[in-house]
Structure 1
Amino acid sequence: MTELTHEELAEIERRFENFDIDTAEVYDVDVDELPPQVVLTRAMAERELLLRQADEVMHDAIGTARAANLSWHKIGIVLGTTGEAARQRYTKHTSGSAVTRAKNGRSARGAKGRLSA
Protein backbone atom coordinates (compact mmCIF):
# COMPACT_ATOMS: atom_id res chain seq x y z
CA MET A 1 0.00 0.00 0.00
CA THR A 2 1.39 3.41 -0.94
CA GLU A 3 1.40 6.44 1.30
CA LEU A 4 -0.78 9.36 0.27
CA THR A 5 0.92 12.64 -0.52
CA HIS A 6 0.20 15.82 1.38
CA GLU A 7 -1.78 17.08 -1.64
CA GLU A 8 -3.87 13.90 -1.79
CA LEU A 9 -4.66 14.13 1.91
CA ALA A 10 -5.55 17.82 1.53
CA GLU A 11 -7.92 16.94 -1.32
CA ILE A 12 -9.60 14.26 0.79
CA GLU A 13 -9.98 16.71 3.66
CA ARG A 14 -11.44 19.35 1.31
CA ARG A 15 -13.98 16.87 -0.01
CA PHE A 16 -15.13 15.95 3.51
CA GLU A 17 -15.37 19.59 4.57
CA ASN A 18 -17.69 20.24 1.61
CA PHE A 19 -19.59 16.97 1.97
CA ASP A 20 -23.38 17.24 1.65
CA ILE A 21 -25.18 14.05 2.70
CA ASP A 22 -28.30 14.99 0.74
CA THR A 23 -26.52 15.19 -2.62
CA ALA A 24 -23.81 12.58 -2.10
CA GLU A 25 -23.41 9.62 -4.39
CA VAL A 26 -23.15 6.29 -2.63
CA TYR A 27 -20.39 3.90 -3.58
CA ASP A 28 -20.21 0.33 -2.37
CA VAL A 29 -16.53 0.12 -1.49
CA ASP A 30 -15.13 -2.40 0.92
CA VAL A 31 -13.31 -0.61 3.74
CA ASP A 32 -10.39 -3.01 3.31
CA GLU A 33 -9.83 -1.55 -0.18
CA LEU A 34 -9.27 1.99 1.14
CA PRO A 35 -6.05 3.48 2.50
CA PRO A 36 -6.07 3.77 6.32
CA GLN A 37 -5.95 7.57 6.13
CA VAL A 38 -9.14 7.60 4.07
CA VAL A 39 -10.90 5.26 6.50
CA LEU A 40 -9.86 7.45 9.43
CA THR A 41 -10.84 10.66 7.66
CA ARG A 42 -14.21 9.20 6.74
CA ALA A 43 -14.77 8.05 10.32
CA MET A 44 -13.98 11.54 11.61
CA ALA A 45 -16.39 13.11 9.09
CA GLU A 46 -19.14 10.67 10.08
CA ARG A 47 -18.47 11.39 13.76
CA GLU A 48 -18.76 15.14 13.16
CA LEU A 49 -22.03 14.66 11.28
CA LEU A 50 -23.48 12.55 14.08
CA LEU A 51 -22.40 15.07 16.73
CA ARG A 52 -24.05 17.90 14.80
CA GLN A 53 -27.24 15.87 14.44
CA ALA A 54 -27.23 15.03 18.16
CA ASP A 55 -26.76 18.72 19.04
CA GLU A 56 -29.66 19.64 16.75
CA VAL A 57 -31.89 17.07 18.45
CA MET A 58 -30.98 18.43 21.89
CA HIS A 59 -31.52 22.07 20.91
CA ASP A 60 -34.87 21.25 19.33
CA ALA A 61 -36.01 19.24 22.35
CA ILE A 62 -34.97 21.95 24.79
CA GLY A 63 -36.65 24.62 22.67
CA THR A 64 -39.83 22.56 22.68
CA ALA A 65 -39.59 22.04 26.44
CA ARG A 66 -39.09 25.75 27.04
CA ALA A 67 -42.01 26.62 24.73
CA ALA A 68 -44.11 24.30 26.91
CA ASN A 69 -42.95 26.30 29.97
CA LEU A 70 -40.74 23.57 31.40
CA SER A 71 -38.40 25.27 33.86
CA TRP A 72 -34.65 25.37 33.42
CA HIS A 73 -34.43 23.58 36.77
CA LYS A 74 -36.41 20.60 35.43
CA ILE A 75 -34.49 20.61 32.15
CA GLY A 76 -31.25 20.58 34.15
CA ILE A 77 -32.44 17.56 36.13
CA VAL A 78 -33.12 15.64 32.92
CA LEU A 79 -29.70 16.64 31.52
CA GLY A 80 -27.93 15.70 34.75
CA THR A 81 -26.82 19.24 35.51
CA THR A 82 -28.15 22.36 37.19
CA GLY A 83 -30.87 24.47 35.69
CA GLU A 84 -28.48 27.40 35.52
CA ALA A 85 -25.88 25.37 33.61
CA ALA A 86 -28.56 24.18 31.19
CA ARG A 87 -29.83 27.73 30.72
CA GLN A 88 -26.33 29.06 30.05
CA ARG A 89 -25.60 26.35 27.52
CA TYR A 90 -28.89 26.34 25.62
CA THR A 91 -30.50 29.78 25.96
CA LYS A 92 -28.81 31.29 22.91
CA HIS A 93 -29.88 28.30 20.80
CA THR A 94 -33.57 28.01 21.70
CA SER A 95 -34.60 30.88 19.42
CA GLY A 96 -33.85 28.54 16.49
CA SER A 97 -35.69 25.65 18.09
CA ALA A 98 -38.16 23.28 16.54
CA VAL A 99 -41.07 25.26 17.93
CA THR A 100 -39.84 28.54 16.45
CA ARG A 101 -39.20 26.96 13.06
CA ALA A 102 -42.59 25.23 13.10
CA LYS A 103 -44.34 28.53 13.87
CA ASN A 104 -42.57 30.04 10.88
CA GLY A 105 -43.97 27.29 8.66
CA ARG A 106 -40.76 25.29 8.35
CA SER A 107 -40.31 21.70 9.36
CA ALA A 108 -38.29 21.20 12.49
CA ARG A 109 -36.36 18.32 10.96
CA GLY A 110 -35.39 17.21 7.51
CA ALA A 111 -36.08 13.89 5.86
CA LYS A 112 -34.68 10.50 6.77
CA GLY A 113 -37.00 9.63 9.63
CA ARG A 114 -36.71 12.88 11.48
CA LEU A 115 -39.68 14.32 13.31
CA SER A 116 -41.58 17.45 12.38
CA ALA A 117 -43.08 19.82 14.88
Structure 2
Amino acid sequence: MTKRTIDQIVARADQFADAFENYDPKPGDRDAPLPPVMAVKLAAWRRDAAERELADAVHAAREQQLSWRELGEAIGTSGEAVRQRYGAKA
Protein backbone atom coordinates (compact mmCIF):
# COMPACT_ATOMS: atom_id res chain seq x y z
CA MET A 1 0.00 0.00 0.00
CA THR A 2 1.37 3.38 -0.98
CA LYS A 3 1.61 5.95 1.79
CA ARG A 4 -0.38 9.05 1.06
CA THR A 5 0.45 12.53 2.24
CA ILE A 6 -1.96 14.45 4.42
CA ASP A 7 -2.67 16.79 1.50
CA GLN A 8 -3.55 13.81 -0.71
CA ILE A 9 -5.84 12.40 1.99
CA VAL A 10 -7.59 15.76 2.43
CA ALA A 11 -8.03 16.18 -1.34
CA ARG A 12 -9.48 12.67 -1.67
CA ALA A 13 -11.82 13.22 1.29
CA ASP A 14 -13.01 16.46 -0.32
CA GLN A 15 -13.70 14.60 -3.58
CA PHE A 16 -15.75 11.99 -1.74
CA ALA A 17 -17.62 14.67 0.21
CA ASP A 18 -18.52 16.43 -3.04
CA ALA A 19 -19.74 13.15 -4.58
CA PHE A 20 -21.93 12.39 -1.58
CA GLU A 21 -23.28 15.95 -1.33
CA ASN A 22 -24.23 15.92 -5.02
CA TYR A 23 -25.80 12.45 -4.95
CA ASP A 24 -29.46 12.55 -5.99
CA PRO A 25 -31.21 9.48 -4.54
CA LYS A 26 -33.71 7.63 -6.66
CA PRO A 27 -37.02 6.17 -5.39
CA GLY A 28 -36.31 3.02 -3.43
CA ASP A 29 -32.62 3.84 -2.79
CA ARG A 30 -33.22 4.12 0.93
CA ASP A 31 -34.49 0.54 1.22
CA ALA A 32 -32.18 -1.04 -1.33
CA PRO A 33 -28.88 -2.59 -0.30
CA LEU A 34 -25.88 -0.44 -1.05
CA PRO A 35 -24.27 -1.43 -4.37
CA PRO A 36 -20.80 -2.89 -3.82
CA VAL A 37 -19.00 -0.02 -5.53
CA MET A 38 -20.86 2.52 -3.38
CA ALA A 39 -20.05 0.49 -0.27
CA VAL A 40 -16.36 0.65 -1.18
CA LYS A 41 -16.57 4.39 -1.90
CA LEU A 42 -18.33 4.98 1.40
CA ALA A 43 -15.73 2.98 3.31
CA ALA A 44 -12.92 4.89 1.57
CA TRP A 45 -14.59 8.20 2.39
CA ARG A 46 -14.93 7.18 6.04
CA ARG A 47 -11.27 6.10 6.13
CA ASP A 48 -10.14 9.42 4.61
CA ALA A 49 -12.30 11.37 7.04
CA ALA A 50 -10.86 9.39 9.96
CA GLU A 51 -7.30 9.97 8.71
CA ARG A 52 -7.99 13.69 8.45
CA GLU A 53 -9.42 13.70 11.98
CA LEU A 54 -6.37 11.82 13.25
CA ALA A 55 -3.99 14.28 11.57
CA ASP A 56 -5.86 17.20 13.15
CA ALA A 57 -5.76 15.50 16.55
CA VAL A 58 -2.02 14.85 16.28
CA HIS A 59 -1.45 18.49 15.33
CA ALA A 60 -3.50 19.69 18.31
CA ALA A 61 -1.72 17.27 20.65
CA ARG A 62 1.68 18.52 19.49
CA GLU A 63 0.55 22.08 20.16
CA GLN A 64 -0.17 20.91 23.71
CA GLN A 65 3.40 19.56 23.92
CA LEU A 66 2.58 15.83 23.82
CA SER A 67 5.62 13.83 22.78
CA TRP A 68 5.84 11.72 19.64
CA ARG A 69 6.25 8.70 21.92
CA GLU A 70 2.97 9.46 23.71
CA LEU A 71 1.20 9.91 20.39
CA GLY A 72 2.65 6.67 19.06
CA GLU A 73 1.41 4.81 22.12
CA ALA A 74 -2.06 6.34 21.69
CA ILE A 75 -2.21 5.33 18.03
CA GLY A 76 -0.62 1.93 18.51
CA THR A 77 2.66 2.52 16.73
CA SER A 78 6.06 4.03 17.45
CA GLY A 79 6.62 7.70 18.12
CA GLU A 80 9.05 7.76 15.18
CA ALA A 81 6.36 6.43 12.82
CA VAL A 82 3.96 9.16 13.98
CA ARG A 83 6.63 11.83 13.61
CA GLN A 84 7.46 10.65 10.07
CA ARG A 85 3.83 10.59 9.00
CA TYR A 86 2.54 13.74 10.70
CA GLY A 87 5.66 15.71 11.61
CA ALA A 88 5.58 18.01 8.59
CA LYS A 89 2.03 19.16 9.45
CA ALA A 90 2.47 19.18 13.23
Distance in 1 (alpha carbons) for counterparts of 2:65 and 2:79 = 13
Q: Is the counterpart of residue 82 in structure 1 residue 81 in structure 2?
A: no
1:99 paired residue number: none
Amino-acid identity (%): 27
Q: Is the counterpart of residue 31 in structure 1 residue 55 in structure 2?
A: no
1:98 paired residue number: none
Are 2:71 and 2:79, in contact at CA under 8 Å, matched by a contact in 1?
Answer: yes
- Which is higher, the Rg of structure 1 or of structure 2? 1
1:22 paired residue number: 21
Q: Which runs of 5+ in 1 are unaligned?
A: 1-15, 33-37, 95-117
TM-score (norm 1): 0.53
Matches within 5 A, 1:4-83: 20-27=19-26, 28-29=28-29, 30-31=31-32, 39-83=35-79
The verdict on how the C-alpha distance between 1:25 and 1:93 changes in structure 2, with shifts beyond 3 A counting, is farther
Q: Secondary structure at the match of 1:76?
A: helix
The verdict on how the C-alpha distance between 1:64 and 1:18 changes in structure 2, with shifts beyond 3 A counting, is closer
2:9 paired residue number: none
Q: Which runs of 5+ in 2 are unaligned?
A: 1-14
Alignment deviations for residues 74-100 of structure 1 (CA, whole Å, 9 cap, x no partner) = 111111221111111211343xxxxxx
Residue identity opposite 2:72 in structure 1: G
Distance in 1 (alpha carbons) for counterparts of 2:47 and 2:67 = 26
Moved over 3 A (4+): 16-19
Q: CA deviation at 1:17?
A: 7.1
Distance in 2 (alpha carbons) for counterparts of 1:62 and 1:74 = 10
- Tell me which of the two structures has the higher relative contact order, counting C-alpha pairs closer than 8 angstroms and 6 or more residues apart: 2
Q: CA deviation at 1:18?
A: 9.2
Is 48-57 or 83-92 further displaced after alignment? Answer: 83-92
